Amino acid sequence: MSSDSRAQVKKSISLQSQIKEQHANLESQYQAIIAAPEVKTLDSILPAEPLLLMGAGPVPISHAVSRANGVVINHLGPTMNEVVDHVKKMARYAFQTDSDKILGVSGPASAAMEMAVTNLLWPGRRALALQLGTFSERLVQMAQAVGAEVVVLNSSGIEPVGAEAVRKVLDQEQIDVLLLVQGETSCGVKIVELPEITRLGKAHGAHVVVDAVCTLTTMPMQMDAWGVDVCIAGGQKGLSSIPGVSLIAFSDNAWEAIESRSSNCPHWCLDAIRAQQFWGGQQYHYTAPVPGILALYEALRQICEETLPRRFERHFLSSKALQKGIEAMGLDLYVPEKYRLNSVVAIKTPETADSESIRQTMSTSFNVEISGAFGLDIMRIGQMGEQCRSHNLFKVLYALGMSCRNYNIELDISTGMAELERHLVLDADHFVD
């Protein structure tokens, strides 16, 4: 054996003994690892037959959205760039804006709300918030958390704040940002005078932020025409995509304010300028939630295919037919028609009943889920995206009626079902799936 070969063999023996030593070290660490828990399979936890999601979100997704959500591709590169370009193009249509500052947010709609608030508000800035319920209250908390001063205009009971009240505050106070929720899912109330209010905010030089989480594509939203500077949408509601990936659009005006701020955005992930590296510059910000973006792509594509006017019409007619059916059955709606949000219908819980038990019976006996509420004695049925299909309406109304009857609440179920059918027949061509 040559001296070179001998040196090689020696080197390899030494390497082997190093690896053995490292392995022995690792094995002693493995012994210190706490035992893995015993867990059930997911299949044994999930119901054999999926529940029909007829609550305030998440909502059912179409097969195309579900299939897209099962795909992972590289989050950077030409394929993803093309996907992102199309998502932005379709989102522009959904928001009705020409802005190219459209960003996806890896997180719930609350993260997109937080992106709007933390990028436009900081100590020394003042916000006016129109309070309607849980989600408008959340915007107030977020604004206060970044050190902004917040003036709150409360709705009186379930009557939303109107344009005149907003004008009075804007005439008297310096307001940098106006915060509002188009449709307050928590109580089923909509801001009736939204275009007047957003235009007022704009005319007074405020940046107008609108939470359209449950409403986008279920009812009109004209971001540019109404002077909205930031519009927020969650995936799991009006868009009928999956939860956890949200959308936000900024106007040029809002973008200038963000670019010219002297302090840094306190959130790294929610920093709009950093996020634009990915959404506008095809550069790495953080690893994008690829399946969620692909799901959003399909949800938006289906919205474009349906077109907004037809989609608004389907939502309007579906929700109205359901409301008529509920009332004809003998239950009362919580919100008077003029303030009523069609995207989430709030029903008063009958006096002798407990909403939790009714909803429980709906799930266990009829495989249909609806929502309770945050502190109010109401039950809420969602009318967003795939929820607005005739078969889903019949199923939820029947389940509600039968479950109420289970608790001795006298209802006329057949009259309610007939009324639903009567309204749907009038507009049958809108409900073809």
Q: Give the interface with ligand PLP as residue ranges (CB under 6 A).
A: 56-57, 108-110, 135, 181, 185, 211, 213-214, 234, 243
User: Which of 297, 256, 373 has the alpha carbon at shortest distance from 86?
Assistant: 297
Rg, Å, the chain Cα set: 26
CB of 399 to ligand PLP, least distance (A): 22
Instruction: Give the β-pairing of 177-181 and 126-131.
Output: parallel
Based on CB atoms, which residue is closest to ligand PLP, 105 or 404?
Answer: 105
Q: What are the tokens at 73?
A: 């591709």
Nearest residue (CB) to ligand PLP, 128 versus 180: 180
Tell me whether residue 110 or residue 118 sits nearer to ligand PLP (CB atom). Answer: 110
In whole angstroms, the minimum distance from the beta carbon of 134 to ligand PLP comes to: 8
Q: Are residues 61 and 384 in contact, defined by beta-carbon separation less than 8 angstroms?
A: no
Exposure on the CB side of residue 365, measured as CA atoms within 13 A:
15
**Closest distance to ligand PLP from the beta carbon of 181 (Å):** 5
Based on CB atoms, which residue is closest to ligand PLP, 218 or 390? 218
Q: Which residues, at least 6 apart from 99, have a Cβ–Cβ distance to it below 8 Å? A: 92, 223, 224, 249, 250, 251, 252, 255
Minimum Å gap between C-beta 234 and ligand PLP is 4
Q: Which is nearer to ligand PLP, 111 or 362 (CB)?
A: 111
Between 109 and 362, name the residue whose CB sits nearer to ligand PLP.
109
Q: Nearest approach, Cβ of 370 to ligand PLP (angstroms)?
A: 14
Who contacts 211 (Cβ-Cβ below 8 Å, separation ≥6)?
109, 113, 135, 136, 139, 179, 180, 181, 182, 232
Strands 183-184 vs 189-190: parallel, antiparallel or unpaired: antiparallel
